[in-house]
Chain A
Amino acid sequence: MNQAILIVLLLFLCTGVASADPAPSSTPSLSALSVPGSTEQPAATFGRDLYYKDEGVVSGPRAPRPSMGDYPRLLGESRLVIWIVAQQHRYWVAFVLGTLLMVTLLEVWTLTRPRHQRAIAYDMLAREWLDLVILAISVAAIFGGLLLLGFLALYPDLTVYLMTVFRPVFLVFGLLLLPFTILSYLYSITWHRWSGGWLKWLHAALGILVNVIGAMLALLGNAWSSFMMSPAGVDASGRFLGNSWHVIHTALWNPFNVHRLAGQLLCASAVLAIHAVYRTMSAATDEEKAHYDWMGAVTCGVLVSALITMPFGGYWLMREIYAYRQQMGITLLGGLLAWLGLVLVTAMGILFFSINYYLWQRIASVGGAWSLGWATKWVFGILALCMVVYITPHTMVMTPLELKNMGGQQHQVLGNYGVESAKSAAVNLMILVTAWSFVLWRFCRNSVPNDRTRRLLQLIAVGFLVAGTNILLLGIYGYYLPANVRVGLSVPMVGTTFTVVLIGVALTSQCISRGHEHHPEWGALSTRGSFSLLAISFLVIWIMGLGGYRRSAVRLFWHVNEIMKDESPWAFTHTTGFAVNMISLNALVFLLGCAGMLWLAKAGLPRRGVTETTTSRSEAETH
């Protein structure tokens, strides 16, 4: 119902905008060229694309220039209302799309490996997650509708302008919403009905189709955000030049898409981890506890996999932002929003600590595996050193007296940590250490450690050691290179990390898939371990809010960068403290929503997942 209202609203608006004639230009642009046409036809006006630099026929009005009085003041500071609603919408959409992707991947995986020990268990796990998605779709749609209404009510000029530019995009978006919703429900209700023979493949195909439509919706939604940051397809005065692909495919669209795809997986796995922890801690039986403990481990695995890509995705996004407008890059990394960047990397550092803590709690929960306990001090020691480097700012917060004592803006010893070369090495090493903890945990689950597995572990350890040394040396080498060459060092660093992590994890999985794995440890995780998983989830959700705010706030006083100014009374940038409070509020509101959703799921779907999974496991073991 909610989706239907939203679709009708979107289509109505698009139709309305489409029927409106583009407003004639009041003053001709300097870049616009008049081409003499026939006497019957009005002369077409051409404009130069702001980004693509080619010419196109002017097909829309100029970007409006509203005055302060043109902004309705219905709910106090309108920006805060939009901020909250947009962030909630973003969270819920990320959860829906991320979970759907995980569900379909699991389903396809089980289909291609029907004889695998855990095939049926994974299939049922996917089914359980899908139930949550169906609940969340409605919430996402409600926030989507509220966001649209909020924009129309509070920022009418901007909304109408964007709808004019994005007219075809909105139409496609609205039309895609309907099949997405219907097919999602169909995907859910046919899970068991289409579980045999070729119907199962048909069901998986349906899942893939839902994901494709979901991805298209996400890409179109991202186009709006990236257009506001790096407009294209319009001329300098904001007039649409008739090429919708240019409007979508702006300078920052692709980095956004990649970054947000990983963000969706992160958000989904974070919420599912909360679900798992909640159900583990409230489990009535050992069987139930073991099931949700296992689910927590699976979600943590997905979370770590997605997280590993985030620093690189973020780096690419920043690089493209710099390349597009250095002014934006400076605002983010050295200017007004740099302190929030520092908060972001601090949260990232704590996140790596938490993940490693969780993994070592898992290792400790495996009987007889604590012979590896000696390694913990090195794991947390290396992480601490990396974090020290990662969070040291280029310019430190200090009193003038401290400045005088230091003798300059840069600290002689620690100032060098404030540059990209050191930070890039630090974050890569943190990823490497985390992957090593993961590999160790996987090995600990091997019930029959033999010479072969031990040799394999030694081989992987050597690989990690060589990779770590290489990253460290590259980080040091970066100080002896010009900046343009130095930035390029991130490629071999990332390459080293990815190669070793992928090979290490693949070798470990290969070893375990030979049938040595046992899983008696499920349910034995300490309470500290469960809480660390909760901390991981909260940090992920909080970091998402912070990253989103920085990306949006970098436009400063522009609605659409360099085209349409924000003339509202709220065009200023909030203080760091206020922004952090708002981000925390948004995270808390989302978590409250999640708590409601999980409560509903628990009340409405009592132990179905556990019963089915347990039955399936028994069947799998019997066969």
Chain B
Amino acid sequence: MRTFRFIEGFMPLQFLLELVGIVLLFTGVAALLERVSCPINRFFKAVLVFVTFVLYLTYRVYPPMPFSILATYITVGLLAVLLWASSSDAYWQEFKQPILAVVDAETLHTRVLRSVLVILIPCLAGWVTWHSMLTKIEEPVELRTVIPAPPNTFTAFGKRFVTHEVQNPFRVNEHGKYDQRFTDALSVEEGGAGLMKPSANPWASNATAYLMSVREGGALYFQNCAFCHGANLSGRGHENFAFNPYATNFVQLRTILYVEEGHEFWRTAGGGTVLPTEGFPWASVMPPMEEHLTADEIWKILLFKSWFTGGDPAWVYEWR
């Protein structure tokens, strides 16, 4: 089933369309059989659709999905199939008919089937129980808190910061004033191809102070951060694969909002050592960068990250 691979950039929609296609296919086949006077009982239709759905999720989707997601999807599928099968009394009667026939066992076939099921079902239950009780040599599932919420205030470099009030001192316009719209206009375009605008070149001879800071931040990033967070900031640095969880992917910014500058500064300066008590234990090997860099250097790195990814936190402030 994995011979035809998902098309890059089209995967989420393709997944849904293929599932719709399966339902269409079954509908067409059922209609055809009905036309030639060979209708399929609703019970078997439901079983066929459900089994196909499970097989699709298990063998078609690649990379394989975690068990938690697989189990959730299967439950949703089962729910939908059962609701459809019982959506009217006529449907429900038709659906129950083969089950009741086996339970009643009035013919030879159904008697044999019932005997087989009476043996098989307890065996299956026993196997599932035995399998679930087996000692497995693997780390347990983590219900990990992905994004630690920052504290309201924090201390870094011996100074106390109010998280939601901190601003990057290098995010400035031509007049040296803090200006998010100005810097946002000079960031790489997020979303599409991630193109650098001609006016936003940090290496240009006439680069503004902001872009000069971006350039310095870039150099610092490659000296200090790229080993884990990757050369293109995608969290795939060469040391990354030794860690669990992996280092943060800054390019994958499809969260509801971008984090505030104070949040980023707190996380970078303190690393894994300052994570909050809520959601403990944490698994972060991020070093406290305040022991390796100055505050200005951290701000410049954050500026570079923001410029590179197009993830300007500016509009968060626009709401206020």
Question: A residues touching B (Cβ–Cβ < 8 Å)?
Answer: 318-319, 322-323, 325-331, 333-336, 338-339, 346, 349-350, 353, 356-357, 360-361, 364, 370, 373, 376-378, 380-381, 383-385, 387-389, 391-392, 394-403, 405-414, 416-422, 476, 479-484, 487, 526, 528, 556, 562, 572-573, 576
Contacts and interface: CB of A to CB of B under 8 A. Distances in A.
Contact of A339 (B143, B147, B312): B143
- For A349, A360, A483, A556, the residue with the greatest tally of chain B CB atoms inside 10 Å of its CB is A483
Given A336-B149, A353-B79, A399-B140, A411 B65 contact: yes
Contact of B164 (A327, A338, A406, A421): A327
A411 to B, nearest CB: 6
Contact of B87 (A329, A376, A397, A410): A376
Q: Chain A: interface secondary structure? A: helix
Contacts of B27: 377
A329 B319 CA distance: 14
Given A326-B260, A330-B149, A400 B12 contact: no
Given A336-B149, A373-B88, 20 more contacts: A326-B263, A331-B278, A333-B255, A335-B149, A338-B145, A356-B83, A383-B80, A392-B69, A398-B66, A398-B141, A405-B64, A409-B246, A411-B65, A413-B14, A413-B61, A413-B62, A418-B254, A419-B254, A476-B13, A483-B190
A481 B191 contact: yes
Contact of B86 (A528, A562, A572): A528
Contacts of B11: 412-413, 416
A335 B279 contact: yes
A325 B139 contact: no
18 contacts: A322-B257, A326-B257, A326-B316, A329-B257, A334-B255, A360-B87, A376-B88, A376-B91, A391-B72, A401-B138, A402-B64, A406-B66, A413-B6, A413-B15, A413-B61, A414-B12, A482-B190, A483-B256
Given A416-B12, A481-B191, A483-B257, A397 B63 contact: no
Contacts of B86: 528
B100 interface: no
B135 to A, nearest CB: 15
B259 A326 contact: yes
B107 interface: no
A339 B81 CA distance: 27
A356 B86 CA distance: 12
B76 interface: yes
Nearest to B151: A327
Interface in B194-249: 235-236, 244-246, 249
B68 interface: yes
The 3 closest A-B pairs by CB, nearest first: A398-B66, A334-B147, A323-B319
Given A323-B320, A397-B68, A336 B145 contact: yes
Interface in B117-164: 138-152, 163-164
- For A381, A383, A395, the residue with the greatest tally of chain B CB atoms inside 10 Å of its CB is A381
A318 B310 CA distance: 24
B19 A385 contact: yes
- For B6, B84, B148, the residue with the greatest tally of chain A CB atoms inside 10 Å of its CB is B84
A479 B83 contact: no
A414 B142 contact: no
Contacts of B263: 326-327, 330
Given A322-B316, A397-B141, A402-B67, A331 B149 contact: yes
A398 B160 CA distance: 37
Interface string B281-315: 00000000000000000000000000000111011
Nearest to B247: A409
B142 A412 contact: no
B76 A384 contact: yes
A412 B63 contact: yes
Nearest to A387: B76
Contact of A381 (B14, B61, B64, B80): B80
Interface in B149-197: 149-152, 163-164, 189-192
Contacts of B19: 385
A412 B12 CA distance: 8
A325 B191 contact: no
A420 B258 CA distance: 13
Contact of A483 (B68, B79, B254, B320): B254
B143 A381 contact: no
B88 to A, nearest CB: 4
Interface of B: 6, 11-16, 19-20, 23, 27, 61-69, 72-73, 76-77, 79-81, 83-84, 86-92, 138-152, 163-164, 189-192, 235-236, 244-246, 249, 252-260, 263, 277-279, 310-312, 314-316, 319-320
Contacts of B259: 326, 330
Given A326-B257, A385-B19, A377 B63 contact: no
Contact of A380 (B84, B142, B249): B84
Contacts of B310: 482
A135 B257 CA distance: 46
Contact of B146 (A334, A480, A483): A334
A408 B164 contact: no
Given A413-B6, A416-B254, A336 B279 contact: yes
B152 A327 contact: yes
A487 B80 contact: no
A576 B152 CA distance: 23
A396 B66 contact: yes
A380 B147 contact: no
A32 to B, nearest CB: 18
Contacts of B244: 400, 403
Nearest to A349: B76
- For B27, B244, B253, B278, the residue with the greatest tally of chain A CB atoms inside 10 Å of its CB is B278
Contacts of A402: 64, 66-67
A414 B311 contact: no
Contacts of B246: 408-409
B274 to A, nearest CB: 14
- For B11, B254, B259, the residue with the greatest tally of chain A CB atoms inside 10 Å of its CB is B254
A409 B250 CA distance: 12
Contacts of B77: 384
Contacts of B68: 396-398
B270 to A, nearest CB: 15
A391 B70 CA distance: 12
B145 A335 contact: yes
Contacts of B91: 373, 376
B80 A353 contact: yes
A364 B257 contact: no
Contact of A397 (B73, B142, B252, B314): B142
A562 to B, nearest CB: 5
A357 B12 contact: no
Nearest to A325: B164
B44 to A, nearest CB: 15
